[in-house]
Amino acid sequence: MKPFARLFVVFILGVILAAASGCGGTKMRANMTLEERMAAAMELYEKRDYLDAKNQFRVITLSYSGSTVADKAQFYLGECHYGMKEYILAASEYERLLKVYPNSEWVDDAKFKLGMSYFKLSPKYSLDQDYTHKAIREFQEFLEEFHRSDLVKQVQEKLTECREKLALKVYSSAEQYYKLGYYDAAAVYYNVVLDEHYDSKFSPLAQYYLGECYRHMRKPVEALEAFRKMADKFPNHELAGKARQRITQLKQATPAAGAAGGKP
């Protein structure tokens, strides 16, 4: 036997013995059949004994990789890590299922939980949003590949949360510059919100304060256009009334700007 093969056999035996030695009140034997081990693993999982359940699912994925339940064991291996809040490890196991068992009935669940793992890893909006972008990618791919799944509504909700977080990150930068009086910089970020996050709840706020930036920068034509867009696109927003007041003020103060912008 080659050294590598010998080491692999020793590793498998070690995993099996370790799995058999734990498991709390669930009776385990090293010579259990596949069906018995799978049933025991699921029993442990249902009891939220994720550590021992993980060991049993690992035995199945290593020793019975070609069996009809290997994909299920692989999925629940990810679920055990997810249950223990080990989201990076969970993501790795879900990705393995998607790669090794692309035709499995668990593929849509694994894709969803992969996105959820990244969603759980996503930090507050002020920090780096790499995991948020990864979650968005997985959720978008889910909607493209599994648009008939029962999980679609949940995916859409989580996707919206991710996008709102990215919008908040940009909007908060604009808000900080605005409060400091750096209106040029604030206008840049407000425009990013409007261009890249136009469907977020921060879009009407960005549209209004973009107008305020131009007003402070003494650009009446641009300010008038921004306020008009605010009043037209978001007529029921709480700032729509103030936007209409600004339109009236700008037209009265600068007739040329009013003529250039047309009727409100």
pLDDT tens profile 28-58: 677 799 999 999 999 999 999 999 999 999 9
- Given a cut of 60, whether residue 202 has pLDDT beyond it is yes
Range of the domain at 20: 10-103
Q: Could you tell me the two tokens for 80? A: 């055990």
pLDDT tens profile 159-181: 999 999 999 999 999 999 999 99
* pLDDT score of 64: 97
Could you tell me if residue 227 is inside a domain?
Answer: no
Q: What CATH number corresponds to the domain at position 62? A: 1.25.40.10
**Mean pLDDT of the residues in the chain:** 91
* Number of separate domains in the chain: 1
Q: Which residue has the tokens 């209004």?
A: 208
- For residues 79 and 110, give the distance between their C-alpha atoms in angstroms, rounded to a whole number: 9
The HSE-up count of residue 105 (CA atoms within 13 Å, CB side) is 5
* pLDDT score of 5: 45
* pLDDT score of 29: 72
Lowest mean pLDDT among 15-29, 136-150, 239-253: 15-29
Could you tell me if residue 17 is inside a domain?
Answer: yes
Cβ distance 98 to 85 under 8 Å? no
- Given a cut of 70, whether residue 120 has pLDDT beyond it is yes
Segment 148-157 shows an average pLDDT of 98
Could you tell me if residue 183 is inside a domain?
Answer: no
Cβ distance 103 to 95 under 8 Å? no
* pLDDT score of 24: 53
- For residues 111 and 113, give the distance between their C-alpha atoms in angstroms, rounded to a whole number: 6
**Between the CA of residue 261 and those of 20, 180, 250, what are the distances in Å?**
78, 29, 11
- In terms of C-beta distances under 8 Å and separation of at least 24 residues, what long-range contacts does 164-168 make, across chains too? 164/200, 164/201, 164/202, 165/122, 165/125, 165/129, 165/132, 166/125, 166/129, 166/132, 166/133, 166/136, 166/197, 167/193, 167/196, 167/197, 167/200, 167/201, 167/202, 167/203, 168/125, 168/200, 168/202
Could you tell me if residue 240 is inside a domain?
Answer: no
Model pTM? 0.84
* pLDDT score of 175: 98
* pLDDT score of 258: 55
215 residue type, one letter = R
- Given a cut of 80, whether residue 114 has pLDDT beyond it is yes
Could you tell me if residue 131 is inside a domain?
Answer: no
**Between the CA of residue 186 and those of 132, 175, 193, 199, 209, what are the distances in Å?**
24, 7, 11, 19, 9
Could you tell me if residue 110 is inside a domain?
Answer: no
Could you tell me if residue 86 is inside a domain?
Answer: yes
- For residues 88 and 164, give the distance between their C-alpha atoms in angstroms, rounded to a whole number: 23
pLDDT tens profile 66-78: 999 999 999 999 9
Segment 186-204 shows an average pLDDT of 98
More confident residue, 176 or 17: 176
Relative orientation angle of helices 220-233 and 203-216, to the nearest 10 degrees:
160
The CB density around residue 72, as the number of other CB atoms within 10 Å, is: 21
Could you tell me if residue 99 is inside a domain?
Answer: yes
